[in-house]
Amino acid sequence: MSLDINKVVIKTSLASCFGSHFKEVEGANAFIDELAQDAEEISFEQGEYVFREKDAPEYVYIPESGSLMLERSTASGSRQVFAFLFTGNLAGLSESVSYSFSAKALTNCVVIRISRKLMQDIFDKYPSVAKRYHDVTGHILSLILDQLFIMGQKSAHQRLAHFLLDMEHRLGRGTHRFLLPMSRQDIADYLGMSLETASRGFSRLKKDGLIDIESNYHITVLDNEKLISYAD
Amino acid sequence: MSLDINKVVIKTSLASCFGSHFKEVEGANAFIDELAQDAEEISFEQGEYVFREKDAPEYVYIPESGSLMLERSTASGSRQVFAFLFTGNLAGLSESVSYSFSAKALTNCVVIRISRKLMQDIFDKYPSVAKRYHDVTGHILSLILDQLFIMGQKSAHQRLAHFLLDMEHRLGRGTHRFLLPMSRQDIADYLGMSLETASRGFSRLKKDGLIDIESNYHITVLDNEKLISYAD
DNA sequence: CGAGCCCTTGATGCATTTCAACGAATGTGG
DNA sequence: CCACATTCGTTGAAATGCATCAAGGGCTCG
């Protein structure tokens, strides 16, 4: 039940989650001290579930290394992927009686686990921290709206182009080359299309010279502008 | 700059927005008193915009009578409808620098307009109110996730059936008959399909005896169970 | 080397879009 | 009060994008 808040990965994860100027927020230091006491680092193997849809939402999770996938499955076996989470993203922030999706480890990963009760206590003491947290929630809400917009508007191939641009931005770290942690099936379930359509999309973009595919997961965006105009 | 919080429509709107036991929350009365002073009732004609996508998010809005539609349009003229709002729903709750969608009046309507600054002040004083507000945000987030799930999973006709069940629930007030305030085009843009597909969906459901259509907007659900299993 | 997994590719069928015409309801001016 | 225009919804036919079914290829691991 303790967290080494001086570890660089933890610092950067928290900073990216709550914003770069978080430390200037009143109560932020008290919050971080409490995290040092009560939060934990937990490791998960690829394929394990960090939490499941029906679980009581006792914790909030921040990946520190590795990737998570938020998904919901139906009785009939089909699945919707809501989001892919990387270092410094946040999962499980605003659930009430149970999580409304499951979180699965896409890779071996380490996540920071924070008790929601602890967060609530801090919020009661420091409204500024609560406000910042609410801002984060609002930001996530707007990301989901963007996703909803994309799902409603675009063709399958456009959605895929959009997805690749997002991954380039989040995984590329300034370069145009990145390693996808998820399978074609995961991507298809995220974008609401079949595995085959997703695969054809990749092939098409490669054939047209917009991207390069080295090893199925190693992608390089060759022509950013064309890809953007393709995603439109 | 004042609101008659003893008016029944206002009471019920606020109650439905913040939850039925809101008054038992610490600070709720102070909040309501502040609303009485600073909030306003504003009327809009059908087709007018309550706010637009790029506006600074200065206010939160609660419809008291009539209906709103939350939408986002592209430069190319296409449009995504995010939600339909009725009495006691809430719009604009967690925007940061600008609204991420526009709110258009579907009918002549009266909305309660609340300054976000006022809400923030109350939140600083009464964490319980802030918590409740955050719960509302979380609920809306889960509604959007449901919508995203539906968009990703179901066929056009299933989505329409689902939509009708939602409207029956929200507009039917216990009965199976309701008056849709939105056009076929609005429904199509909400469900991510063409106007014609939406129309064909209505025709099909009528032909199969699941619904009755009196005047394009007057719908009666005839066979609830079949409609549910159709929506699956 | 063979098994298993994931991805790719082709062929076919179906759902949905698009284009186009028609019909119903509403409103306007003569 | 009736022609007329306008808006909105319905319906049909053709085109297309996507899912599905099916086969094959490449990679990894034992």
Nucleotides of C under 7 A from a protein CB: 6-11, 15-20, 25
Query: Residues A49, A102: contact at Cβ < 8 Å?
Result: yes
Nearest CA distance, A104 vs chain B (angstrom): 17
- Which residue in B54, B132, B141 has the most chain A C-beta atoms within 10 A of its own C-beta, making it the best mutation to test that interface? B141
8 Å CB contact of B153 and A78: yes
Calpha distance A74→A70 (Å, rounded): 14
- A177-216 confidence digits (pLDDT tens): 999 999 999 999 999 999 999 999 999 999 999 999 998 9
A124 to chain B, any CB pair closer than 8 A? The answer is yes
CB nearest A141 (choices: B72, B141, B191): B141
Considering CB atoms only, which of B76, B151, B153 is closest to A152? Answer: B151
Closest nt by CA–C1' to A182:
C6
Question: How far apart are alpha carbons B133 and A138 in whole angstroms?
Answer: 12
Q: Which residues of chain A have pLDDT under 50?
A: none
pLDDT tens track of chain B, all 232 residues? 688 888 899 999 999 999 888 888 898 889 999 999 999 999 999 999 999 999 999 999 999 999 999 999 998 889 999 999 999 999 998 888 899 999 999 999 999 999 999 999 998 888 889 889 999 999 999 999 999 999 999 899 999 999 999 999 999 888 999 999 999 999 999 999 999 999 999 999 999 999 999 989 999 999 999 999 999 8
Which chain A residue shows the shortest CA-CA distance from B134?
A134
Distance A118 CA to C14 C1' (A): 53
Q: What is the pLDDT of residue B1?
A: 67
Instruction: State whether residue B61 is helix, strand or coil.
Output: strand
Interval B194-214: pLDDT, tens: 999 999 999 999 999 999 999
Give percent helix, percent strand, percent coil of chain A, each to the nearest 5: 45, 20, 30
Query: Residue B147: its chain A contacts at CB < 8 A?
Result: 148
N-term to C-term CA, chain B: 48
- Delineate the domains of chain B, giving CATH numbers in brackets: 8-151 (2.60.120.10), 154-231 (1.10.10.10)
Q: Residue B102's pLDDT is what?
A: 95
Q: Which positions in strand D are less than 7 Å from the protein's CB atoms?
A: 8-13, 17-22, 27-28
**A55-59: long-range contacts (C-beta < 8 A, 24 or more apart)?**
A55/A98, A55/A99, A56/A97, A56/A98, A57/A92, A57/A95, A57/A96, A57/A97, A57/A98, A57/A99, A57/A116, A58/A115, A58/A116, A58/A117, A59/A92, A59/A113, A59/A114, A59/A115, A59/A116
What's the CA A79/C1' C11 distance, rounded, in angstroms? 27
Q: Straight-line distance from CA A195 to C1' D19, in Å?
A: 10
